[in-house]
Amino acid sequence: MKVDLVFAEIGSTTTVVTAFHNLDGKVKILAQGEHWTTVNEGDVTIGIERAIENLKEKLGVSNFSWDKFAASSSAAGGLKMTVHGLVYDMTVRAAKEAALGAGAVIKYITAGKMDEFHLHKIKQISPKLILLAGGVDYGEKETVIHNAKLLSKLELDVPIIYAGNIAAAEQVEFILKNSGKTVFVTENVYPKIDQLNVEPTRNIIKEVFAKHITKAPGMEKIYDVVDYEIHTTPGAVMKATQLLSEIYGDVLTVDIGGATTDVDSVTEGSNEIQEITISPEPVAKRTVEGDLGLFVNAHNVIDLIGKENLKHEFENLDELIERISPYPKTDQDEYFISKLALYCFQQGIRRHVGKKKHIYTALGRKLIAEGKDLTAVRYLFGTGGFLSRSKYAKDVLKTVNNLSKLHPMELLPQNEVKIFRDKYYIFAAIGVIASEIDKEIAKKILLEDLEELGG
């Protein structure tokens, strides 16, 4: 049997392979195979091979091949980066938005002039990528040039992206290249006051990932197999969310995984909040909560909820904790995981959004807003192993419609939100298909994949 496309999503916990056929016509999602991700065995391709064997069993075939093979990965926990800018509320924040939107994990942030201590910290972290920004175009450039000189001394072979003041770009590039660094120069992430420009930097980060980063043991073997660039899974899910926005408008995607909870939104917010917002936010925003996951970080979520709180509902809590798995064996196990998922879901969204608050001025009390505004969101999409497959996913997702009542000063969805889920668990595949093959084909698959769960 030969199919048009096999897609492998190599996650922190599980590896899922999906067979797609008839991409030029009425696309068919034939079957999926699954296996543990085999990072601990020193080679992620072992997990892919076993998942393909599982796929063949489901298809009932012994001979299996494909025309094209594509993949995304989050098996090593994302692209580890440090970010360095001029003023935290401006260029550093803009650079951070660009990095997170591309699937990166920010490990260290500095604002202002760096010193030897900062260099020491960066060396300890050993990032895979450094993002240097600072200053609006044709504004202050002394700080970013100072930081470039300091980074030129860094004893790490790591690519550096420059996305700062255009007036300093040539000098920064000269300083870094002259010290033997690999440098990528792109547009300023904060070219003017109150203007964000994160997409060019996001694209460079994706490019650097594809060309320079091997994320997990055995990943280099996959480069010999795939027909397209390997994307970060979070970046691919963000692309799928942007496709959803083209179809539905103001949208929100929550992806609860084994290690992290990622939240993607595409919305400009409401006119009411825009009028009182004091600093800009990107239209497409991603946040990653590295402490909220259902397997790798399950014990952390349990600690955040509180064992005593959980014991009120689960008398055999210790047994349930021992049995935590991406593949729960009993209904009680799955129900227990749903309680952890509920916490990840609500906290992930609440950490993603901004807030309204009162400040006092010479003219009296004034209401302002800062952070991401989701008040105009009308559609919510759930993805990830639990939200795509669990019978308890709907119970978790529908709580979005109560959040704004419980937290009235947070910029949460205000009206009843329509709820869908990624029923085939293929948002990452859709994002890669849109980027590498054809956006219209990706949209067709997306509409086939969505399952409406109500409001």
Sign of CA dihedral 192, 196, 200, 206: positive
Q: What is the pTM of this model?
A: 0.80
Number of residues that make up the chain: 455
CATH 3.40.50.720, applies to 79-212: no
pLDDT at 211: 58
266 - beta bridge partners?
251, 284
Does 7 score more than 80 pLDDT?
A: yes
When pLDDT is cut at 50, 70 and 90, the band that residue 217 belongs to is low
Would you kindly state where each structural domain of the chain is located, as residue ranges?
Answer: 2-76+215-222, 79-212, 232-454
Distance of CA 262 to the CA centre of its chain: 5
Other Cβ atoms less than 10 A from the Cβ of 138: the count is: 13
The number of CA neighbours under 13 Å toward the Cβ of 226 is: 23
**What was the pLDDT predicted at 214?**
44
How far is it, in rounded angstroms, from Cα 96 to Cα 281?
11
pLDDT digits (tens, 9 = 90+) for 318-351: 999 999 988 899 999 999 999 999 999 999 999 9
Q: How many helices (H) and strands (E) does the chain have?
A: 18, 18
| Model confidence band, residue 289 (pLDDT cutoffs 50, 70, 90) | confident
Nearest to 435 by CA among 44, 79, 71: 71
Q: Provide the mean pLDDT of the chain.
A: 91
Q: Which pLDDT tens digit goes with each residue over 68-121?
A: 999 998 765 556 889 999 988 787 778 777 876 666 678 899 999 999 999 999
- CA-CA distance, 228 to 218, in Å (whole number)? 17
Per-residue pLDDT, 442: 96
Residues 6+ apart with CB under 8 A from 435: 231, 236, 239
Closest CA to 81 of 57, 102, 64: 102
Instruction: For domain 2-76+215-222, say whether CATH 3.40.50.300 is its number.
Output: no
pLDDT digits (tens, 9 = 90+) for 247-264: 999 999 999 998 889 999
pLDDT at 126: 92
Neighbours of 67 (CB within 10 A): 12
Report, as an integer, the average pLDDT of 37-57.
89
Q: Is the pLDDT of residue 139 over 90?
A: yes
- Is it the case that residue 178 has pLDDT exceeding 60? yes
Q: Is the pLDDT of residue 213 over 60?
A: no
When pLDDT is averaged across residues 423-446 and rounded to a whole number, the result is: 96
